[in-house]
Structure 1
Amino acid sequence: MQAMLKGVWRYRAFVVSSVAAELNNRVNRSRLGILWLVISPLVQVAIFALILSAIMRGRIPGIDNQFAYAIYLMAGFLPWYLFTEIVTRCSTMFIENANAMKKIVFPKVTLPVVIAAIAIINNLIFFLAVTLVYLALGHGLSLATLWLPLLILVNTGLATGLGVILGTLNVFIRDVGQMVPIFIQFGFWFTPIVYTANIIPEAYRGALYLNPIYWIVAVHRDVLVFKQAPDPLTLFCLVVLTLIVGALGMFMFKRASPEMVDVL
């Protein structure tokens, strides 16, 4: 682990230039530029809000606002987009960068670092857009928002650890790459993003609590929607889970790294 961190630090200029190059490519030759990063999620929020707001409005206690469902939705989409962007891109990062890995000498561990950095920047831009929409809807932020950097860090760590596991497996078992979109779609509907947990029958609700993304979304909503600090026990469990998944991802990556280039 220490050697990997040293490799990332030694190649920090490579990481920064890679992040800058990708962000520049996204806005190059585009009239709307960086706005494309927030248009898609905000349109998706608007669609769900228009279709389901009448049904869901009365099921969200604790929000004294006629746009309660839209506020609830955006607080769920914010961590979900960060998580899925990292997991999806990390699952194919070694295959997509196979030529570079064969021709250029650089620590392969910088690849997930670049992906995580870009995803965090995208998420911060989306957060600014969400903040502006919240203010327009009459829902201001509170001091509890200061918890958000820690929540983003935990979400990023968990997603990156899982992404490295999937990316490593995908090098040797290509079926993994085909399964990730299915996993993401299932995860979306298995997580209370467009609905509330209380609509699920109590007999089946225990299965929902086994979903770590449910808890990540929940602590984000504590901060952004209900303006309160996240539950300490939930946050502690998420940090422990993130460390375990991250350690497992790094272990698998380290063991498989010498064989990756040959397989690719």
Structure 2
Amino acid sequence: MLSKTLKNLWDYREFISSNVAREFQLKYQNSLLGATWSVINPLSMILVYTVIFTNIMKAKLPGIEGHFGYSIYICSGIIFWGFFSELVSKGTNVYLDNASLLKKLKFPRECLPVTVLLTALVNFSIIFSLFSIFLIITGNFPFLLVIQIIPIMIILSVFGLSLGFILGVLNVFFRDVGQLLGVILQFWFWATPIIYPLDILPAPIQNLIQLNPMTIIVGSLQRIFVMNEGVNFSDLLGVSVFSLVLFSLSLYVYRKNANEIADEL
């Protein structure tokens, strides 16, 4: 099964690449700044939160000194959260957005999640490159630890894609799912220690927030970029297992409803 899937993806590689290009063309069509918006949006969010929490609310990170400590803390959370939320959002709308392709063309359906993943990775690469330049200039780039991002990104990709495609199937039959997702992601963002450190919360709330898979993932990334320490991968074991279970569930949900999806579109 896996070898067949990989063969299909290779055979349809030009179809996938053209889909990724089409995504960017549609997103930035008739836009003067084009792909620059993929940088402006997260940078503006980081700037607003940094100004509000650092200068107005005088927020500080326990044990973190230096002028850029809080900015790096926010960036290391927001950049990877943006990648995750894009996977979930695009996965949720992938069947509706590609309805015409699904009805008119015959192609391996596994091309769709790969397209979503590659598009999100391109957007992520742009903003992460700028973040890396900022870290290098300020002398905070974790050269010896940066490779540890790779397994975290794999876990994050599996988690985000699996969740997105489960919701994508549900969104075909219940269109409220797509509308509700934006609200859920807003609450989820604030339920993840991205803007604030977990230590400032009361113990009962800390215990609740630690059940959030994104708390573990973002915390591991902040450990690399903010603390300049290696990741404790045993902390990620539970999230990894959960992501694999979610991935299996997404395959089951899709296969069970594959024949009805095209009819509902």
Q: Name the counterpart of 2:94.
A: 93
Equivalent-residue separation in structure 2 for 1:150 and 1:196 (angstroms): 23
* 1:159-198 deviation per Cα after TM superposition (whole angstroms, max 9, x unaligned): 0000010001111122211211111111011111111111
Q: What is the deviation of 1:16? A: 1.7
- Does residue 185 of the first structure (1) align with residue 186 of the second (2)? yes
SS of the residue 2:149 aligns to:
helix
- What are the residue-to-residue correspondences of 1:91-130 with 2, within 5 Å? 91-130=92-131
Gaps of 5+ in 2: none
Deviates more, 1:224-233 or 1:80-89: 224-233
How far is the alpha carbon of 1:6 from its aligned partner? 4.0
Asked if 1:8 is matched to 2:38, the reply is no
Partner of 2:203: 202
Give % identity. 32
SS of corresponding position for 1:63: coil
Between stretches 188-197 and 228-237, larger displacement belongs to 228-237
Residue number in structure 1 paired with 2:224: 223
Once residues 235 and 127 of structure 2 are traced to their aligned partners in structure 1, the CA distance between those partners, rounded to angstroms, is 25
Q: What is the alpha-carbon distance in structure 1 between the residues aligned to residue 228 and residue 210 of structure 2?
A: 22
**Alignment partner, residue 131 of structure 1:** 132
155-164 vs 12-21, greater mean Cα deviation: 12-21
Q: How far, CA to CA, are the matches of 1:205 and 1:26 in structure 2?
A: 38
Task: Give me the TM-score of the superposition, normalised by structure 2.
Answer: 0.92
- Higher deviation after alignment, 33-42 or 79-88: 33-42
Partner of 1:73: 74
Amino acid at match of 1:134: L
Question: 1:40 maps to which residue?
Answer: 41
Q: Which amino acid aligns with 2:157?
A: T
Q: Label 1:45 to 1:37 Cα distance change in 2 as closer, same or farther (>3 A).
A: same
> What corresponds to 1:158 in structure 2?
159
Q: Closer, same or farther in 2 for the Cα pair 1:56/1:107, shift >3 Å?
A: farther
Task: State the 1:124 CA deviation.
Answer: 1.3
State how many pairs are aligned.
Answer: 263
CA distance in 2, matches of 1:104, 1:135: 46
- How large is the Cα RMSD of the aligned pairs? 1.9
Shift of the alpha carbon at 1:237?
Answer: 2.3
Amino acid at match of 1:79: F
Structure 1 position 24, deviation (Å): 4.8
1:8–1:254 distance in 2 versus 1, CA, 3 Å: farther
**CA shift in 2, pair 1:84/1:56, >3 Å:** farther
| Cα separation, 1, equivalents of 2:187 and 2:129 | 28
Separation of aligned partners in 2, 1:97 and 1:176: 17
1: CA distance, partners of 2:18 / 2:170: 28
The residue that corresponds to 2:175 in the other structure is 174
Q: Which structure 1 residue ranges, 5 or more long, are not aligned?
A: none
1:247 shift after superposition:
1.2
Per-residue deviation, 1:12: 1.9
Residue 83 of structure 1 and its aligned partner are, at CA, apart by: 0.4
Contact 1:27 1:33 (C-alpha < 8 Å) held by counterparts: yes
